[in-house]
Structure 1
């Protein structure tokens, strides 16, 4: 039965309307205003724009083909089939807009005074947090944006996007409340740890190793501890990465996030990928002690326990905490000695800047920087976060001075990165080797 002409006409009009609206979605480079120092790194911006442009081009082609189909084969097609095909295209249209919106916040916030440049500086810090010396392959770019709430989050590079495709960059959401103090470094590096775990394929092999530890347990309480560590291992690895890169600044930053009402700090949920806050902070101190042995870790752990005394808990939760704490040394050892295939025989701990993050080294850096502040500008961002966080914990740096220093340094990282990229673009191309004027002898 021939299709009703009104259905074809209506759906063609709706499709052309989609094309009109799609044409209004322009590259960020054409409509987002920001100072050059606030812009994402060129590689990140190009990758994002290319992904979105290709998505719009693909959709535009499908919409035009649908219109052609309506005018020819669709003329004898039931209206329900016309509508089914249009609904799929409209769904895809919204996927394209969702992907655009996903990145829009990253770009739009960079037009804000100060905030935009800070975000660019945090991009640089995220790249440093992802640095893995000796690991083959190029690390993905990362872009940051601010959002409400106390916790950070990441959409990892190469993660699936709504509607299909893979994210070309890591997108890190930084809590606005962290601007600006050592907590910002802790949040940023923790999220970078999730990306590193994905790149190195850490989580599942470690979970299997913890499963073996569970099977070897000597009692039910120990087995329960290893079972819970399996559930929480993805967040534990990210915390391990943060402590490894930042030292005690990572644990202090974690405390500032999970300092919540008592009922929440001791709330145990097996559905939550995070360890409950009380044990998470205690474990962070244990990891710090394993990586950088020092009395500061025990002191900080005891301080945390004094803020949330466990003695007032019921017997069941006290027993659970005791069982978990008893496995701290073994758990830290398993993670430190894990040898992912990507490291070709090296242990995970070998990726960390151990010599430069010991308490003694951090104190030496701070002493040198106090006499020559300009040295801070050439230091890697994660080292800056580590040194200033350590100085805060030791009472040598006030919160006001820390915020001022970090604000200036984050802007410096943004400016240096921008000028470095501009200089690379402005450099004259290396001339190709001139052909030899002497004839090449021919062997006879």
Structure 2
């Protein structure tokens, strides 16, 4: 039975309505007002715009194909139910595309918020720097940050599947609002970046065979084998390892802040959770830190954490498992440090993370030098700055008030510097293009642009001197 003319007309009207709404999905560059310093980095902006434009183009083609089908001879051999089925799937694809738009809109809209927008752009710079490794090991994707509620951070990695289908063109890091701006933001941020780096290097999969080779030596059921649990938790552990290797004790301090929960949650073991038991996770972070940056502070932090959540009172079987896991930590950390995956061309991760620059004594010397010459701090890599601040906090040399104040200034500086450098690079590129067209080596306009887009003088590190001194140790 052929589709009734009225049904065909109704379906055609609905399809044309989809096209009308589709035309109202504008590029974000035309919709979102923000100061230049808060803007996404060009790579992230172009990747998002290309993805949305491709979705619009594909959907428009599908709608037009549906309208042509309604007028085609094939529709004469179909019934109303077939027409409705085709349109329903078309509308589902349209809603999936809007889900992508809403996802990126949530990220970009916050860039128009006063102060928060610029700070988010500064965090983008931090992410790009902490994801970078010396050498040609992977092509780092663009990273964008946004704020959301909740106690923990999260990442939607680049290349993963988006809701409704399609690959995510950028890495999207969600930062809890309660972490802005102060202690622990580096821990949450760099841990999530560690997930992206681990995926690019395939660290979790390359570690699994080595961990599996250690299983079975304990005897008993797999649930009582510590190495069974290390394999279960390996994806989160490599992200924690990345964070400690990049920002030092700041990672562990932030982890303690996030995981300071009621005792029931800190000591709860779940076979479905990829995160280690919070109690063990902090202990492992301290052990990784002590292996990378030997110092008494790590044992002091682990004893403090143990005093917060003593294991007394647990069921005997659970207590025995936790003690076995704790005893296996040194061997597990040695395995992590010695691991040389094919993706790193025979190197280990500590060899590439410049850990000699993040030894506690070196970080303390840098903090003292920056107090005497604050402008030098603005020249340092962001991950090193966070490592220095984390060390200063645990040493009692930096107060929470001063840390929050200075971090806000640093995030603003990184965002502004990145914006000006991007403008300068674009101006120089335009100048070269003009020179190729006109035959001039360097057109006068390019010199003007270079002068106007030179980075601004470094902002001074102004804060009250008494705030730089923490409580007595």
User: What is residue 259 of structure 1 aligned with on the other side?
Assistant: 260
Residue 173 (structure 1) aligned with residue 163 (structure 2)? no
User: What is residue 399 of structure 1 aligned with on the other side?
Assistant: 400
Structure 1 pair 135/333, CA: closer, same or farther in 2 (3 Å)? farther
User: What is residue 14 of structure 1 aligned with on the other side?
Assistant: 14
Could you state the TM-score of these two structures normalised by the residue count of structure 1? Answer: 0.95
After superposition, residues 239-250 of structure 1 pair within 5 angstroms as: 239-250=240-251
**1:222 CA drift (Å):** 9.8
State the Cα RMSD in Å: 1.7
CA contact (8 A) 1:214 1:222 kept: no
CA contact (8 A) 1:265 1:278 kept: yes
After TM superposition, the structure 1 stretch with the greater mean CA deviation from structure 2, 281-290 or 134-143, is: 134-143
User: What is residue 459 of structure 2 aligned with on the other side?
Assistant: none
* Alpha-carbon separation, structure 2, partners of 1:399 and 1:101: 35
Q: Which SS does the other structure have where 2:390 is aligned?
A: helix
* Alpha-carbon separation, structure 1, partners of 2:425 and 2:133: 23
* Alpha-carbon separation, structure 2, partners of 1:262 and 1:111: 40
* Alpha-carbon separation, structure 2, partners of 1:390 and 1:33: 38
* Alpha-carbon separation, structure 2, partners of 1:239 and 1:139: 19
CA contact (8 A) 1:291 1:354 kept: yes
After superposition, residues 39-438 of structure 1 pair within 5 angstroms as: 39-73=39-73, 74-217=75-218, 224-427=225-428, 428-429=431-432
**1:136 CA drift (Å):** 3.5
* Alpha-carbon separation, structure 2, partners of 1:91 and 1:208: 42
Q: Which ranges in structure 2 are unaligned for 5 or more consecutive residues?
A: 440-473
* Alpha-carbon separation, structure 2, partners of 1:35 and 1:395: 37
User: What is residue 27 of structure 1 aligned with on the other side?
Assistant: 27
* Alpha-carbon separation, structure 2, partners of 1:332 and 1:433: 59
The alignment of Structure 1 onto Structure 2 pairs a total of residues equal to 435
**1:218 CA drift (Å):** 5.8
CA contact (8 A) 2:159 2:169 kept: yes
Give CA deviations for 1:306-365 in whole Å, capped at 9, x if unaligned. 111112323222211110011111111111111121111111222212111110111011
Could you state the TM-score of these two structures normalised by the residue count of structure 2? Answer: 0.89
**1:215 CA drift (Å):** 3.3
* Alpha-carbon separation, structure 2, partners of 1:377 and 1:38: 18
CA contact (8 A) 1:143 1:171 kept: yes
CA contact (8 A) 2:3 2:83 kept: no
* Alpha-carbon separation, structure 1, partners of 2:83 and 2:303: 68
* Alpha-carbon separation, structure 2, partners of 1:198 and 1:370: 38
CA contact (8 A) 2:216 2:225 kept: no
After TM superposition, the structure 1 stretch with the greater mean CA deviation from structure 2, 72-81 or 58-67, is: 72-81
Give CA deviations for 1:103-135 in whole Å, capped at 9, x if unaligned. 111100011000000000000001111011113
* Alpha-carbon separation, structure 1, partners of 2:49 and 2:233: 36
Give CA deviations for 1:61-92 in whole Å, capped at 9, x if unaligned. 11011111101232442111111111111111
* Alpha-carbon separation, structure 2, partners of 1:421 and 1:434: 24
CA contact (8 A) 1:214 1:223 kept: no
User: What is residue 444 of structure 2 aligned with on the other side?
Assistant: none
Structure 1 pair 317/29, CA: closer, same or farther in 2 (3 Å)? same
CA contact (8 A) 2:223 2:229 kept: no
**1:162 CA drift (Å):** 2.2
* Alpha-carbon separation, structure 1, partners of 2:81 and 2:209: 50
Q: Which SS does the other structure have where 2:160 is aligned?
A: coil
Give CA deviations for 1:390-420 in whole Å, capped at 9, x if unaligned. 1011110010000001000011000000000
CA contact (8 A) 1:243 1:284 kept: yes
CA contact (8 A) 2:183 2:400 kept: no
* Alpha-carbon separation, structure 2, partners of 1:41 and 1:83: 43
* Alpha-carbon separation, structure 2, partners of 1:167 and 1:3: 39
* Alpha-carbon separation, structure 2, partners of 1:221 and 1:367: 50
Q: Which ranges in structure 1 are unaligned for 5 or more consecutive residues?
A: 436-444
**1:434 CA drift (Å):** 12
After TM superposition, the structure 1 stretch with the greater mean CA deviation from structure 2, 17-26 or 219-228, is: 219-228
Give CA deviations for 1:199-257 in whole Å, capped at 9, x if unaligned. 00011121221111113446669961100111100000000000110111100000110
**1:433 CA drift (Å):** 12
